[in-house]
Amino acid sequence: MRTLLLVITFIFTMNITAQTSYEKGMNKAFALWDQQKNTEASQLFERISAAETDNWLPPYYAGLIEIVSSFGLKDETVLTTKLTRAKEFLDTASAISENNPEIMISYALLNTAYIAFDGAKYGMTLSGENAAIYQKALSIAPNNPRVVLSKTEWDMGAAKFFGKSTVPFCKDIERAITLFEAEEQTIPYYPYSGLERAKAISTECKKETSPKN
């Protein structure tokens, strides 16, 4: 009996060990990202992605890091290389999880990185593509707070460009905040973040709407 128990415990422990290697890897990658070690973090996500072939999160994060870290780059060669790589990761992620709104808005973010680099070269084609992505993401997940937030931010950017008031969009930001707060966070490592950004934008909104002295 004792032997059996021991064996069971052992097998069980082994299982747990196997599980935690994913968690250990993911935790370590997030820690690296926190420390601004973008390359190391992205590489670790890439390694996890190679091991976890049916999980969209590791390639999603590997791509996201490349995208986020390409904003502000001055060299087009580096930019294109990074974003091409990022796109490959996102393609891997979306092959695992089709029509995933989180991945879709990352594609839009990728396009935005190109547009931010050279609006005249990339703006014409990619801004239309982005509008279409947001439209589709919103129709799939109308209550996803990140979809609502990033679409609203995109619309606000366009309004700003045309010198229009961004006030009409504030209610959408408020709606995103409500959705964020109501969101049940059940899946480990799911990209739930965004609430803080929404709140920051909301504060800006309130400044604009309140009468100036």
Partner 1 sequence: MKTLLFLLLTLLCFKLHAQSTISGKVIDQQGTPIMGANVYLSGTYDGTATNDNGLFTFETTTTGTQTLIASSISFETYSKSSDINNFKNVTIKLKDDVNTLDAVTVNAGTFKAGDNAKVTALKPLDIVTTAGALGDFIGALQTLPGTSNVAEDGRLFVRGGDADETQIFVDGMRVFTPYSPSANNIPTRGRLSPFLFKGITFSTGGYSAEYGQALSSVLLLNSISEPQEEKTEISIMTVGLGLGNTQKWKKSSLSLNTSYINLAPYQKLYPDNNEWHKPVESLGGEAVYRYKFNNDGLLKVYGAYSAVDFDLTQEDINEVNGVRFGLNNNNHYLNTSYQDFMEKDWSISTGISFASDQTKIKLDTADITDTENSAHFKLALKKYFSSRYKLNFGAEYFITDFKEDYIANTIENEYKFNNNLLGGFAEADIFFSKNLATKVGLRGEYSQLLKEFNLSPRLSLAYKAGQNAQFSLAYGEFFQNPKNEYLKFNTDFSAEKTTHYIANYQYVKNKQIFRAEAYYKDYGSLVKYDTDFTLPTSIYDNTGNGFAKGLDIFWRDNKTLKNTEYWMSYSYLDTKRNYQNYPTQATPDFASKHNASLVVKRWVEDWKSQIGFSYNYASGRSYTDPNTGRFLTEKAKSFNSLNFNYAYLISPQKILYLSVSNVLGTKNKNGYQYTDQPNTDGIFDRRTITPAADRFFFIGFFWTISKNKNDNQLDNL
Nearest by Cα to 111 from 91, 134, 129: 129
Between residue 108 and residue 137, which ones bind partner 1 under the rule CB under 8 A? 118, 120-122, 124-129, 131-132, 135
Q: Report residue 202 as tokens.
A: 């909301």
Site string for partner 1, 66-85 (x = CB under 8 A): --------xxxx--xxx-xx
Q: Which is nearer to partner 1, 33 or 180 (CB)?
A: 33
Nearest by Cα to 89 from 128, 151, 44, 127: 44
Q: Which is nearer to partner 1, 6 or 167 (CB)?
A: 6
CA distances from 38 to 43, 66, 69, 164, 181 (A): 8, 8, 7, 36, 29
Phi, psi of 58 (to 5 degrees): -60, -50
Q: Which is nearer to partner 1, 5 or 182 (CB)?
A: 5
Check residue 193 for interaction with partner 1 (CB under 8 A).
Answer: no
Between residue 37 and residue 66, which ones bind partner 1 under the rule CB under 8 A? 39-40, 43-44, 46-48, 50-51
**Which residue has tokens 């994060």?**
61
| Exposure on the CB side of residue 73, measured as CA atoms within 13 A | 18
Check residue 199 for interaction with partner 1 (CB under 8 A).
Answer: no
For partner 1, the binding residues (CB under 8 A) are 3, 6-7, 10, 14, 21-22, 24-25, 39-40, 43-44, 46-48, 50-51, 74-77, 80-82, 84-85, 118, 120-122, 124-129, 131-132, 135, 155, 158, 162-163
